[in-house]
Structure 1
Amino acid sequence: MNQQFPQLKLLTCLFLLFSATIFAQVTGSIKGTVKTSDNKPAEGVSITIKELNRTTIADNNGIFAITKVPDGNYKLIVSLVGYNDVEQNVSVVSGETATVNIDLALSNTELNQVVVLSNKSAFKTNRISSSLRLQSPIIEIPQNIQVITGKLIQDQQIFDMLEGVTRNVSGATRVEHWDNYANIFMRGSQVSAFRNGMNVSTTWGPLTEDMSMVERIEFVKGPAGFMLANGNPSGFYNVVTKKPSGRTKGEANISLGSFDMYRASLDFDGKLSKDGKLLYRINVMGQAKGSHRDFDYNNRYSIAPVLKYLVDDNTSITLEYTKQFSQVNIIGSNYVFSNRGYADLPKSFTTGEPNFKPTNMDDQSILAIIDHKINDKWKFTGQASYFNYKQEGMSMWPQWPGFTPGNDEILNRGISIWDILGLTKTGQFFVNGEEKTGSITHKILGGIDMSDKMYYHDWSQSAALNGYDASGNIVPFNIYNPIHGNVPASAMPNFDRSRNIKERGVQYHNGYNAFYMQDELGLFEDKLRLTLAGRYTTLKTSNPYSGSFKDSKFTPRVGVSYSLNKNTAAYFVSDQSFNENYGTDWQGKSFDPQTGNNLELGFKRDWMNGKWNSVVAVYQITNKNILTADPEHSTGAIQYSRQSGEQKVKGVEVDVRGEIFKNLDLVMNYAFTEAKVTKDTDPALVGTQVAGTSRHIQNTWLNYKMDQGALNGLGLSLGYQYQVDRSPWFVSNDQSTNLPDYFRLDGGVTYQKGKMTYNVIVNNILNQYLYSGGKYSGSYFYWQAEPGTNVRLSVSYKF
């Protein structure tokens, strides 16, 4: 022990000497203001010292400050979408503060419109994308809108919507997936999927977006059907794809991970003409990915080229093509089944086989946008999209009754064809602008919204899936001692695809036409804002099961937002939703449309003049004509639904995001959701928790980045997801089906040096058995298990 004291003393002296050197280092500061071309503060924009790799964020007044800068000459870099890049030289003298004022000049890539203040270094933003149509900052909108930035998506290494996107939004959870689409719940019901302001939700399609082509994701709470297309009463998420910025730049990314995951992506952004009028952006991605389940895989690629042509100073045309392809072993093999209860089989369990023919999913879409600036106050936008989704493959599910009677070990596996053809057409025309009558300002939005969705599904052919021994005898599938690889090719079903899917498939057709108008009146110098809006929607749907129906409804919206000061606002909103219900009841009668009424009160605040913000919202949603399981009339494999009557959802949400301390970014949220069945033809279900909901959800993600000394560029991340009182996927008064609490811990390390960034993420650090599921028709339990501890390493290079 005594021999170690000299070494300890030496280390102590070296540490003190190093510390003294650091603290004795003479430094100065840089402060300044950034303004846009219209002399407004460029809030949220990032300012970087190129030589030191240090970045700060301007506050809501466009003011920034960087302290402890060593003596020397530096170059500040400021980039903002829609404006020309600025590089400004600055000299720092010890003990002094260098002051710089930066004016951003509008580039020819934007039409003097409100642009998204793109901040690559922050987890928050003050503005929504133009695809949400609204012209006000988030703090002034009478609605809870949460934006997941591209930086946050990269930091958490999220590759598609099936992964951890929901952890960044209060009350949002992913409860199920079929390898191709994400089933996300929020405020008591499934939320609609939007892309660039268009509703792309359908029955099992289209393919969920790969994050390589995504700029940001916007979660809009509540109905807000007037704002875009028809949406569910709980809200929707809007995926905003990457568009040309007018800058010549690019990024390459390579990722490796657990379960033989290999992934690469490229992002090219630039100009195709010397005059800068023809712009382009293209994102490509390729992925080979295994699974924690035996024989499972998900191989994908995507190509997303975008062209934007600036016709003149007032008009632009954008064309975007997206192709996504995904190949999996078989749909449904991610489910685990048991008669005894949840989680009594390993996470790696699968009902699949190694020699299945792959299921292929091909998703193609075209988006066209015309933007025209009518004058300095008014703008017209027209956009149209066409989606073509094709799926050819198989799905798995136990054959009725699931397990062999009297033996809860033997599962009767079933396999069926599952081919899909989905054709979706959407068109939207809208104008927005600003006028003034006396002392009252008017922010006006009005438009036409149309959609037509035609889907064909073929489930018509099915067969039992059996294994065989060497003598040709059937080997039962024992879930506690499964034998795989004993299903010969001759025993695999050979499905008949000789007829076109339009002939052999079940046809689902739904669509809507709508007109909407909104006026946001600004009173008392815009401190008080009154929103009056209305939408008239006509729904059309038809299929062989429910027949055809057509119904119309006017849904009003009233909102009030008041600014207590420039950083604080309170709001109230009352709005409604109107959506189709698919299918028929046991008598073959179609269901009435689903309606929802939302009342919401909220409080928003920007702290530290915009470095971080918080939202607190209290709401109540009453949903009518909700479809639930009908066990009274369901027999065996034939399952019916019914309109349960009414569900009431009450809740409190808290969202916090941004830089709470220097270099420390935070995303933290909490949601209390009381979702109850209030009316039902089955009295036993009244008072039960709505399927797929969690009573308490709390998420946190922290990221700290060092910007000085030898560790400059090093970042540390840590986060968790916590859910309490989770209900299964189907309404039931059987408490044995309730799900256990959910806790997942993740963390990571990043290092940025120049144009290179290294990112290591460890998911499920505690190796917990995490799952969600339910009890199928009162018989067996089924669930989807998440992977245990897994690691991803990504390396990116910006050029």
Structure 2
Amino acid sequence: MFRTTLHYLYCLLAAMVLSHPLYATEEKGNGHIRGKVTTSDGHPAPAVSIILKGTAKMAITQEDGSFLLREIKPGNYDIAVSYLGQENAAQPVTVVANRTVRVTVVLNISSVTLQEFTVTQHRGSYKDLLNSPTLRLAAPLIETPQNIQVVTSKVLADQQVTSMSDGLIRNVSGATRLEHWGDMYARVNMRGSRASAFRNGMNVTSSWGPLTEDMSFVERVEFVKGPAGFMMSNGEPSGIYNVVTKKPTGVTRGEAGITLGSYDFYRATLDLDGKLEKTGRLLYRLNLMGQTKNSFRDYEYTNRYSIAPVLSYKVDDKTTLTLEYTLQHAKMSNVGTYYVFAADDYAVRPRDFTTAEPNLDPTVIDDHSVMVNMQHNFSDQWKLTAQAAYFSYRQTGSSMWPTEVNADGTMIRNVSIWDASNEAKYGQLFLNGNVATGAIRHRILGGLDLGNKEYMADWNQGHDLDSAGAYFNIYQPVYGRPANGLPSFDRSKSLRERAGSNIINQSYTGVYLQDELGFWQNRIRLTLAGRFTYVEESSYGTKVSEKKFTPRVGISGSIDAHTSVYALYDQSFVPQTGLLRSGEKVKPITGNNIEFGVKRDWMGGRWNTTASVYRILKNNQLSNDPDNQPGENFSLQLGQTKTEGVEFDLRGQIVPGLGLIANYAFTDSKISKATKGMAEGAAVPGFAKHTANAWLNYRLQQGALKGLGVSAGFSFMGDRSTWTWGAVTQKDLPDYFRLDGGLSWERDRLSINANMLNLLDAYLYSGAAYATFYYWQAEPGRNLRVSLGYKF
């Protein structure tokens, strides 16, 4: 049915458009401009903005520096050429009726300077005009009919973000983390459900993972709101976040950094970038990081290091091969000790209180990944990308959860083994095309996705630290002498033998095709796309297979060179795993998304805004069963949920020296079709109805104090629901407000950055009601980080 509907819609829209006099043929008497932009030393200048002054005509140069402006009334014009909002050159041109004028615009910088400028400006900006190639959409962000937000490397540096779980989501409207496991993995919620985790365009999401990426080897993080499964493999209808790793730039440079902070936080990084031979055909990038960190709670620590080398080889003028390896090693305390438990309410103990026991064996994780990427340009219009990856995650450790929590503050702490393996293989092949048929421009995307994931874990051994009559008391804690001693787990068998039925396998194949048709000199763009996905999954002893076709229709229009509006209809499909108390099969998630938005670049692209409204209908979403008792992990499958919301994002340089990121989101997620035990209209857990964030940085541009900067930011969550369903009498979370501020100084190659986090020293936490008690995780009070960086 979907195929027939999509085909009918495609034919109907095409017939309507082609039958209109404006699009049927080129307007008689008008002319065209075909041009090329080069640097002063004769090299092509790609990704340069072309604007025909006095009109709404605009273009972006291709990799060979070429551009085309169609259907221009005869007359004299000026072509403005700018890059990252900086006007660099202007070229007069005379358009003659029924003729194509050819022009060459020469930038007044060399190719080396342009490349250095690209690197410097990209790393020094709070915004970006383009998405990364890993998102596969060969179009400027302002023309894409979807809400996509980019967190740049400059933002990561200014805010001293060290991992995905370290406050990065404050830079994106509506993104929240209501639960966390320290630096083990980040679970991000957007638009009422979990956002899928991607790295370089590959879906690395697993039940407990992936290991959160350290920002030392990350160039940027892209948040795609709403369904993205049409091209990015099966994913949640709420959206994805795509971590883009650093690649060689061809500019020889380096940067070293040291960060010191509260609670024995010590961190060092090194970033080397350059050429391995004179012609620049063989490039390298190497990022190294080492870190130790204790906590405001006793017996809690996280030590990490990462090694991330990348090689890029230009085989010829058309083909580039890139090989990337990443190792992340983590050694941390028992992850369950982040939680605190009480029978009567949240936060009844000081924030530095812990249920941890000293001398527990650490949790150790080794995370390896290898990626190979090949890009081949058949011509200026057609580009083929092929990539493959292998991920291997090994974990040896334990978790902690209570066997018993009593009203008088006594409890029995249980330590359970948590050894795990997470292995995945991916293959992707996609083709980008940019062609014209008459007056219609086509941006074509088609590809193939293959993936295979296996997660297994041993959760089958547990040890009570305490016992009846020898409880642990949260009001009179005694550490170092647990009644039953410390655990000693049996690891004599292989992990696969010990895991038993706790093994999850998933393999999928997806094919997709998209055509973005541009009309009226690409001022109106119609996107028609579809994807077919086949998935086989085995989890907890059951095996299922699912297949589905999901269509996508979007339209985007440029009001002028800097403003666009869009509308989108999209569907999503993602199999899921879980245990239902009834023993029934878990159904896959399906979702429909309708979205409308407006985007605008201000001040020549120095800053931009995005506003969107959306509605997502999501079928078969899983949520924790409210009847779970300690040790149980059953889920409920909801009939249908409806999430509606409004989102606004602002980012960029408002005036010289003043960078600002601000966002707000209203999210309302409810059950629209009831299922067992759930009432229609009940709120879906795991989101905040109101979220607002801001980060402002001002740096003096001249004078004796040139380079001195001051920054301030806040994060707010209001009407916060808990992570899981709770009884009617149990409480929701209070509102959340955090204020941060800092001072910095940059001059030439040296930079110093100091941030004071949680300036108000507020008691901040997340948590939920669980069974007959509450749990919560506190955040640090007022704490300091100081970084010193040197570029060479």
Give the counterpart of 1:343 among 344, 347, 357.
347
Partner of 2:634: 640
Is 1:173 the counterpart of 2:173? The answer is no
Equivalent of 1:564 in 552, 559, 562: 559
Amino acid at match of 2:636: R
1:210-232: CA deviation from partner (whole Å, max 9, x where unpaired): 00000000000000112322221
Q: Is 2:199 aligned against 1:195?
A: yes
Aligned to 1:622: 617
- Please give the residue correspondences for 1:81-96 in structure 2 after superposition, counting only pairs within 5 Å: none
**Residue deviations 1:199-251 (CA, integer Å, cap 9, x gap):** 11101123110000000000000001123222211000000000011111110
Q: Structure 2 regions of 5+ residues with no counterpart? A: 1-37, 52-59, 61-80, 90-105
Asked if 1 retains the 8 angstrom alpha-carbon contact of 2:39 and 2:111, the reply is: no
Please give the secondary structure, in 1, of the residue aligned with 2:128. Answer: coil
Sort the Cα spacing of 1:40 and 1:395 in 2 relative to 1 into closer, same or farther, 3 A: closer
Residue by residue over 1:502-536, the C-alpha shift from the partner in whole angstroms, topping out at 9 and shown as x without a partner, is 11112111121100000000001100000000000
- 1:444–1:58 distance in 2 versus 1, CA, 3 Å: closer
Alignment of structure 1 residues 76-475 onto 2, 5 Å = 102-105=108-111, 119-179=122-182, 180-399=184-403, 402-404=404-406, 407-466=407-466, 475=470
Counterpart amino acid of residue 567 in structure 2? F
Q: Is the 8 A contact 1:688 1:732 kept in 2?
A: no
Which position in structure 2 is the counterpart of 1:588?
Answer: 583
With over 3 angstroms needed to count, the CA separation of the structure-2 counterparts of 1:117 and 1:749, relative to structure 1, is closer
8 Å CA contact 1:41–1:62 kept in 2: the answer is: no
> Which residue is 1:25 aligned to?
none
Amino acid at match of 2:782: T
Distance 2:598 2:114 in 1: 37
Distance (whole Å) between structure 1 residues aligned to residue 107 and residue 432 of structure 2: 33
Counterpart CA distance in 2 for 1:209 and 1:687 is 37
Q: Relative to 1, partners in 2 of residues 1:635 and 1:447: Cα closer, same or farther, differing over 3 Å?
A: same
After superposition, what is the alpha-carbon deviation per residue over 1:730-753, rounded to whole angstroms, capped at 9, x for unaligned? Answer: 134626321110000001111012
Q: Tell me the TM-score normalised to structure 1 length.
A: 0.85
Looking at structure 1, the residues matched to 443 and 684 of structure 2 have their Cα atoms a distance apart, in angstroms, of: 38
Q: Distance in 1 between matches of 2:560 and 2:340?
A: 54
Distance 2:273 2:301 in 1: 31
- Asked if 1 retains the 8 angstrom alpha-carbon contact of 2:302 and 2:331, the reply is yes
Pair 1:63 & 2:59 matched: no
Partners of 1:116 and 1:274 in 2: CA distance: 20
Distance of 2:270 and 2:303 partners within structure 1: 17
Flag the 1:731–1:677 CA change in 2: closer, same or farther, 3 A: farther
- Following the alignment from structure 1 to structure 2, what is the Cα–Cα distance between the partners of residues 798 and 61? 25
Residue identity opposite 2:639 in structure 1: G
Secondary structure in 2 matching 1:346: coil
Q: Does 1:697 align with 2:691?
A: yes
Q: Structure 1 residues 392 and 379 mapped into 2: Cα distance closer, same or farther (>3 Å)?
A: same
| 1:762 maps to which of 738, 756, 761 | 756
Closer, same or farther in 2 for the Cα pair 1:346/1:58, shift >3 Å? farther
Alignment of 1:600-749 (within 5 A): 600-631=595-626, 634-635=628-629, 637-682=631-676, 685-732=679-726, 734=728, 736-749=730-743
TM-superposed CA distance for 1:684, in Å, is 5.3
Superposed counterparts of 1:474-623, under 5 Å: 475-487=470-482, 491-505=485-499, 506-545=502-541, 547-623=542-618
SS in 2 for 1:177: coil
CA distance in 1, matches of 2:445, 2:729: 48
Q: Secondary structure at the match of 1:654?
A: strand
Whole-angstrom distance in 2 between the partners of 1:630 and 1:340: 21
- Give 1:513's aligned amino acid: T
Instruction: Flag the 1:61–1:217 CA change in 2: closer, same or farther, 3 A.
Output: closer
Identity %: 49
Counterpart Cα distance in 2 of 1:147 and 1:201: 20
1:102: Cα distance to partner? 2.2
Contact 2:287 2:309 in 1 (8 A): yes
1:771 to 762, 765, 778: 765
Distance of 1:619 and 1:750 partners within structure 2: 39
- Alpha-carbon distance in 1 for matches of 2:394, 2:408: 37
> Cα 1:350–1:753, aligned 2, differ >3 Å: closer, same or farther?
same
Q: Could you tell me how far apart the structure 2 residues matched to 1:366 and 1:516 are?
A: 25
Instruction: Mark the CA change 1:117 to 1:599 in structure 2 (over 3 Å): closer, same or farther.
Output: farther
Do the aligned partners of 2:626 and 2:724 also contact (CA within 8 Å) in 1?
no
Q: CA deviation at 1:118?
A: 5.3
Per-residue CA deviation, residues 655-700 of structure 1 (Å, 9 max, x unaligned), is 0111112211100000011111222224653222211111111101
Cα deviation for residue 590 of structure 1 reads 1.6
Please give the alpha-carbon distance, in whole angstroms, between the structure 2 residues aligned to 1:242 and 1:40.
19
Query: Which secondary structure does the structure 1 equivalent of 2:164 belong to?
Result: coil
**TM-score of the two chains, using structure 2 as the length reference:** 0.86
> Which amino acid is 1:618 matched to?
V
Q: Number of paired residues?
A: 705
Asked if 2 retains the 8 angstrom alpha-carbon contact of 1:685 and 1:732, the reply is no
1-structure distance, mates of 2:445, 2:517: 12
CA RMSD after TM alignment: 2.4
Residues 500 and 61 of structure 1: CA distance in aligned 2, closer, same or farther (over 3 Å): closer
* Residues 784 and 544 of structure 1: CA distance in aligned 2, closer, same or farther (over 3 Å): same
Is residue 37 of structure 1 aligned with residue 39 of structure 2? no
Distance in 2 separating the partners of 1:494 and 1:569: 62
In 1, are the aligned partners of 2:115 and 2:251 still within 8 Å (CA)? no
Once residues 249 and 627 of structure 1 are traced to their aligned partners in structure 2, the CA distance between those partners, rounded to angstroms, is: 48
Note if 1:785 corresponds to 2:778. Answer: yes
Aligned counterparts of 2:576 and 2:457: Cα–Cα separation in 1: 18
Q: Contact 2:726–2:770 at 8 Å: present in 1 too? A: no
Show the counterpart of 2:23.
Answer: none
Q: Given that residues 703 and 715 in structure 1 are in contact (C-alpha distance below 8 angstroms), is that contact kept between their aligned partners in structure 2?
A: yes
> d(CA) in 2 for partners of 1:476 and 1:689?
37
CA distance in 2, matches of 1:459, 1:610: 52
Q: Secondary structure at the match of 1:343?
A: coil
Residue 623 of structure 1, CA deviation: 0.5
Secondary structure of 1:227's counterpart equals: helix
Unaligned 5+ segments in structure 1 are 1-32, 46-56, 66-99, 468-472
Take 1:221 and 1:722, find their aligned partners in 2: how far apart are those partners?
A: 20
**Residues 678 and 530 of structure 1: is their aligned pair in 2 closer, same or farther, counting only changes over 3 Å?**
same
Q: Distance in 1 between matches of 2:727 and 2:474?
A: 28
Q: Is the 8 A contact 1:43 1:62 kept in 2?
A: no
Distance 2:308 2:50 in 1: 30
- Contact 1:685–1:731 (Cα < 8 Å) also in 2: no
Go from structure 1 to structure 2 and tell me whether the alpha carbon gap of 1:309 and 1:156 turns closer, same or farther (over 3 Å shift).
same
Distance 1:397 1:481 in 2: 19
Letter of the aligned partner of 1:605 in structure 2?
Answer: R
Would you say the 8 A contact 1:127–1:138 is kept in 2?
Answer: yes
| 1-structure distance, mates of 2:329, 2:753 | 26
